[in-house]
Structure formats: structure tokens, C-alpha cells
Amino acid sequence: MSMDLSSPSLLRRPVIGRRRLLRGMGASVCVLAVGSLLPLRESSATGALTPARPALPPAAPPPIRFEVIRGGDVIGSHNVDFEGAGSEFSVSTRIDITVRVLGVPAFIFRHESTEHWADGRLQAFDSKTNDDGSDFFVTGRAEAGSFKIINRKGTEVAPADIMVGSYWTPLIARQTQLIDPQRGRVKSQQLLSTDAMTIQARNGPVQATRYRVIGVTDGWVAYDGAGRWLAAELKKKGSDILYRLPK
């Protein structure tokens, strides 16, 4: 269901201790998800794992569905959908989060974005976000030898092979620069390490590769051998934001 992120109803509501409750949350919820984890299984004595460089999928993958968890409570959802086939497809991300205190909404976050891909290159990116009353709009288009981004601060020019920090493929975790999906700014990213882990999915345990990153978001994201996004965790200023596969 599509939502109007600029609706006045999102702006007029009681706010109870928002900064104190949600320190470290902000835009970084745009890009993280987590499943129920089993003990880690490292690939070597040091825990290091160097997987082959991932590639973009040849066809649209199945949808991704997560529940957003904070402090043990479900506070929203993060959904990713794919359309298209072969070398041309689109990636749509929708995030809907509401934190309540004594039943009263204390924080609301809405984000919708769409990426259009062709021949292994990002052709277009559009997003709109309502971050607790602050509206953000981003438009990006591929140009000859570059990618032009328009955000509420102005215009930026990114490299032609730029990706969005939406983390639907492990290739995103290996980039040194990414587009912030909420603000439309080009930010540096550092891949700190990789290791192996086991994730408990609906149909049993799944072997995955975990990427620890800092930049657009700080934390880790994990993928199975086919490059499907399975899990992640954000840790910032003592706050953990998790996404869980629906039961």
C-alpha cells in the first residue's frame, strides 16, 4: 500500500522523549535487517572469509520481508521487491516504522525508494522519506560517464558505477562509495572484515557471509551463497536495531 509521506497527519502528533529513545536510529534504519542467529561458525582460525566477488542477479530475485525489532518489540517493517528480468530490473524498498510510548506514537519513519538497473549499471534512483516530520526527496539519473543526484541540498555528481546503500546484494557491502538512500549524499564506506556465520531461517540453518561495514551505516550485513540478503544488525550509541524474518 502506497503512502503519502508528506501527509500533514505524519507531522501532527505527540512526541515523547524522541531524541532520548531513538538516539542512533535515524536514516540508518533504511538499510539493515537481521534474522534469528545461531552461534557463529568461522571459516578459519582468524574467522576471516574471502568470498568471490558477488555479481548482480541475472533476473529479478524473490521479495525480501523483515520485521523491524528494537528492544525486543516489533516497531515496523522493511520490504524489498524486485521486478523485471534479464539485465533490466527494478528494486523497490519500503520501510514503515512507528515507535510508541504508552500507546502514543513517539517517532515515525517512512521511506520509499526505487532503483532501476540495466546492463549492470544503476540508471535511475528516486526516494522520499519522512523522518519524524522532516521530509527528504532524492532523484538520481545516469549520464554519460557519471550519475547525477539531486537532493534537498543541491546537486552531486557520482561515479557511473555508484550504488545505493540499500544492501539488497552483497556487492553493495564491497563498495567504497554509496548513495545515502535518505539524503541522497555520496558517502564513503569501509569494509572492515568478513567472516562466516550460520543463520536460522524458516527452513533451517543457512550458511552466510557477514560483512562488517562503516559509512552509510555502521554494523554488519549477511548474505547466503547465492547473494540473498538474510541478516544484519546496527549497533550505534548503545542502541540495537534488528530486522527479523516473519515467522
Confidence at residue 159, expressed as pLDDT on a 0 to 100 scale = 96
Cell 548513495 locates to 179
pLDDT value of residue 247: 75
Q: What does the alpha-carbon distance between residue 36 and residue 198 come to, in Å, rounded to a whole number?
A: 10
In which element (H, E) is residue 206 found? strand 204-214
The pLDDT assigned to 107 comes to 86
Q: What pairing do the DSSP bridges indicate for beta strands 154-159 and 177-179? A: unpaired
Distance, in Å, from the CA atom of 43 to the CA atom of 209, rounded to the nearest integer, reads 10
Inter-CA distances, 166 with 10, 55, 74, 125, 153, Å = 24, 15, 21, 11, 21
Which residue type occupies 118? A
Contact 39, 47 (CB under 8 A): no
Report the alpha-carbon angle 195-68-241, nearest 5.
Answer: 55
The domain locations on the chain are 8-244
Cα–Cα distance, 203 to 206 (Å, whole number): 9
Residue pLDDT tens, the chain, 247 long: 333 323 333 323 334 444 454 444 544 454 443 333 233 333 333 344 444 445 566 667 789 998 888 888 888 999 999 998 777 899 999 999 888 888 888 889 999 999 999 988 999 999 999 998 999 999 999 999 999 999 999 999 999 999 999 999 999 999 999 999 999 999 999 999 999 999 888 788 899 999 999 999 888 898 988 888 888 887 644 568 887 778 7
C-alpha span between 93 and 233 (Å, rounded): 18
